Amino acid sequence: MSEKKSSQISGFYKLSIEERLEKLKDFAGLNEQEIAVLKKESSLELKSADKMIENVIGTMPVPLGIATNFLINGENYLIPMATEEPSVIAAASNAARIARLKGGFTAGSDESIMIGQIQVTDLKNPDDAKNAVIANKQKILALANEQDPVLNKFGGGAKDIEVRILDKFIVVHLLVDCRDAMGANAVNTMAEAAAPLIEEITGGEVILKIISNLAVKRLARSSAVFDKEALGGEEVVDRIILAYKFAAKDPYRCATNNKGIMNGISSVVLATGNDTRAIEAGAHGYAALNGYSPLAKYRKNSDGDLVGEIELPMAVGLIGGATAVHPTAKINVKILGVKTARELEEVIASVGLAQNLAALRALSAEGIQRGHMKLHAKNIAKMAGADDRILDKVVEIMVRERKVRLDRAREIVEELKK
Ligand code: NAD
User: Same domain for 337 and 237?
Assistant: yes
Q: 319, 323, 343: which to mutate for ligand 1, most atoms within 8 A of CB? A: 319
User: Same domain for 247 and 357?
Assistant: yes
User: pTM score, two decimals?
Assistant: 0.88
Cβ partners under 8 Å of residue 363, min gap 6: 243
Could you give the count of Cα atoms lying within 13 Å of 215 in the half-sphere of its Cβ? 31
User: Same domain for 90 and 119?
Assistant: no
Distance in Å, CA 315 to ligand 1 centroid: 10
Q: What is residue 259's predicted lDDT score, i.e. its pLDDT?
A: 98
Sheet containing strand 219-226, strands side by side: 106-109, 219-226, 306-313, 296-300
Give domain status of residue 325, yes or no.
yes
Give the atom of ligand 1 at the shortest distance from the alpha carbon of 149: 11
Query: How far is the C-alpha of 366 from the C-alpha of 213, rounded, in Å?
Result: 39
Distance in Å, CA 318 to ligand 1 centroid: 9
Domain boundary among 168, 196, 212: 212
Q: What is residue 369's predicted lDDT score, i.e. its pLDDT?
A: 54
Give domain status of residue 57, yes or no.
no
Give domain status of residue 58, yes or no.
no
User: Same domain for 102 and 228?
Assistant: yes
Give domain status of residue 126, yes or no.
yes
Domain tally, the chain:
4
In whole angstroms, how far apart are CA 345 and each of 64, 107, 266, 416? 19, 9, 12, 60
Distance in Å, CA 338 to ligand 1 centroid: 18
Which CATH number characterizes residue 406's domain?
1.10.8
Range of 391's domain? 371-417
User: Same domain for 319 and 230?
Assistant: yes
User: Same domain for 347 and 375?
Assistant: no
Give domain status of residue 20, yes or no.
yes
User: Same domain for 331 and 403?
Assistant: no
β-partners of residue 124 are: none
Of the candidates 116, 115, 112, 76, the one whose C-alpha atom is nearest the C-alpha of residue 96 is 76
β-partners of residue 300 are: 306
Query: How far is the C-alpha of 112 from the C-alpha of 220, rounded, in Å?
Result: 10
Sheet containing strand 169-177, strands side by side: 157-166, 169-177, 113-121, 205-212
SS3 per-residue string spanning the chain: CCCCCCCCCCCHHHCCHHHHHHHHHHHHCCCHHHHHHHHCCCCCCHHHHHHHCCCCCCCCCCCEEEEEEEEECCEEEEEEEECCCCCHHHHHHHHHHHHHHCCCEEEEECCCEEEEEEEEECCCCHHHHHHHHHHCHHHHHHHHHHCCHHHHHCCCEEEEEEEEEECCEEEEEEEEECCCECCHHHHHHHHHHHHHHHHHHHCCEEEEEEEECCCCCCEEEEEEEECHHHHCCHHHHHHHHHHHHHHHHCHHHHHHHHHHHHHHHHHHHHHCCCCHHHHHHHHHHHHCCCCCCCCEEEEECCCCCEEEEEEEECCCCCECCCCCCCHHHHHHHHHHCCCCHHHHHHHHHHHHHHHHHHHHHHHCCHHHHHHHHHHHHHHHHHHCCCCHHHHHHHHHHHHHHCCCCHHHHHHHHHHHHC
Domain boundary among 212, 227, 261: 212
| Backbone phi and psi for residue 71, each to the nearest 5 degrees, phi listed first | -120, 115
Give domain status of residue 181, yes or no.
yes
Q: 146, 151, 187: which to mutate for ligand 1, most atoms within 8 A of CB? A: 151
User: Same domain for 97 and 170?
Assistant: no
User: Same domain for 42 and 73?
Assistant: no
Give the atom of ligand 1 at the shortest distance from the alpha carbon of 150: 11
Q: What is residue 375's predicted lDDT score, i.e. its pLDDT?
A: 73
Which CATH number characterizes residue 125's domain?
3.30.70.420
User: Same domain for 207 and 344?
Assistant: no
By the 8 A CB rule, do 264 and 352 touch? yes
- What pLDDT tens digit does each residue of the chain (418 aa) get? 456 789 999 999 999 999 999 999 999 999 999 999 999 999 999 999 999 999 999 999 999 999 999 999 999 999 999 999 988 999 999 999 999 999 999 999 999 999 999 999 999 999 999 999 999 999 999 999 999 999 999 999 999 999 999 989 999 999 999 999 999 999 999 999 999 999 999 999 999 999 999 999 999 999 999 999 999 999 999 999 999 999 999 999 999 999 999 999 999 999 999 999 999 999 999 999 999 999 999 999 999 999 999 999 999 999 988 998 999 999 999 999 999 999 999 999 999 999 999 999 999 875 445 556 777 788 899 999 999 999 999 999 998 898 889 999 999 999 998 8
User: Same domain for 43 and 69?
Assistant: no
Query: How far is the C-alpha of 12 from the C-alpha of 17, rounded, in Å?
Result: 10
In the structure, which protein residues have their CB atom closer than 6 angstroms to any atom of ligand 1? 148, 150-151, 154, 156, 178-186, 188, 211, 213, 275, 278, 317, 319-321
Q: Using CA positions, which residue lies closest to atom 24 of ligand 1?
A: 183
Give domain status of residue 136, yes or no.
yes
Q: What is residue 372's predicted lDDT score, i.e. its pLDDT?
A: 61
Q: Per this entry, what is the length of the chain?
A: 418
User: Same domain for 175 and 145?
Assistant: yes
Q: What is residue 370's predicted lDDT score, i.e. its pLDDT?
A: 58
Domain boundary among 163, 194, 212: 212
Q: What is residue 295's predicted lDDT score, i.e. its pLDDT?
A: 98
Give domain status of residue 409, yes or no.
yes
Strands 113-121 and 169-177: antiparallel
